[in-house]
Structure 1
């Protein structure tokens, strides 16, 4: 039986396999900062973090791990 894989996780895995830039999903970034997914989306827009678009989907994006790590280290 195949295990379910979240669409965002699948997109992240594909992106990380083909790029030298490491990304996180919005949920993962939110967990690192202690925020919910919805709070993280507001935080991204408010602080103008880099959104890595996912092809064929306007509303979904990935975030640069380096930016999240920098924010976490300054907390």
Structure 2
């Protein structure tokens, strides 16, 4: 039996395997900043963070880990 893999985690794994930039999901980035996923979406738009779009999905995107590290640090 195949283990369930969250769609966002699967997209992140695929993206990281083919890119030199490491990315985080909204949930992961939000947890680093102490925000919920919905609060993180607002934070991204308010602060103009880079959104890495996921193909075939208008509303899903990944965030650059380097930008989140800069904010946390």
TM-score by length of 2: 0.98
- Unpaired runs of 5+ residues, structure 2, are none
| Larger relative strand fraction | 1
Alignment length, in residue pairs? 73
- Superposition CA RMSD, Å: 0.4
Write out aligned runs for 1:1-75 (5 A).
1-73=1-73
Distance 2:15 2:61 in 1: 11
- Unpaired runs of 5+ residues, structure 1, are none
TM-aligned CA deviation for residue 3 of structure 1: 1.0
Distance 2:3 2:41 in 1: 28
Distance 2:36 2:60 in 1: 16
Distance 2:52 2:21 in 1: 10
Structure 1 runs, 4 residues or longer, greater than 4 Å off: none
TM-aligned CA deviation for residue 2 of structure 1: 1.2
Q: 3-state DSSP class of the match of 1:63?
A: strand
TM-score by length of 1: 0.96
